[in-house]
Amino acid sequence: MKTIPSAAAVLAVTTLFAVCSCAAQPRGAVLCGEKPSSGPVVVEVGLANGVPSANPKVCVVQPGARVDWVSDKAFVLSFKRMSPGGANSPKDPSSQPAPDGKQKIGINAAAPEGSYDYGITIDGKSVDPAIIIKKAQ
C-alpha cells in the first residue's frame, strides 16, 4: 500500500473543505467587498455573542448586481430609506429557507447609486451595516 505524502493529504483535505464551505453560496457568488462588484455576491449573516453580524459590514456592488444575504438562522433586513432593489422591492424583507437549509434574502441592485443603510434583526436584536451601489471606476 502506498502512502500519500503529508503535503498532498493536507491539500486534498483543504480542497474538500473549501468545496464544502461554498455549497451555501449561490453558484458563482463571492463574498462581497469594498470594490464595486458586478455580482453575484454574498453577505454572510450570523450571530456573534448573541448580536447579529454582517460579513462584510459594508458591501459595494455595481448597478444590477445580485446580493444574497445568507444565514443559519431566520432574519429580517430593514432598509432605512429604501431597498437597494428599487421602489418595488420591500423595505423589510424576511429570510426564506433555501434548498440547502440556510435562510436567504436575495436582491438585485436596481435602485439609484448611493448608500443604503439597513438593519439586520435576529431573535429581536439588531445591527446596522450598509450596502453601496456604485458604478465601477
Q: What is the pLDDT along the chain (137 residues), one digit of tens a residue?
A: 444 333 322 222 222 222 233 334 455 679 999 889 998 999 999 998 889 999 999 999 999 999 999 999 999 999 998 999 999 999 999 999 999 999 999 999 999 999 999 999 999 999 887 778 888 77
pTM recorded for the entire structure: 0.77
Phi, psi (deg, nearest 5) at residue 16: -60, -45
Buried-exposed string 37-74: b where 16+ CB fall within 10 A, e elsewhere: bebbbbbbbbbeeeebbbebeebbbbbebbbbbbbeee
3-state secondary structure of 91: coil
CATH superfamily of 6-133: Cupredoxins -  blue copper proteins (2.60.40.420)
C-alpha cell at 111: 435602485
Domain ranges for the chain: 6-133
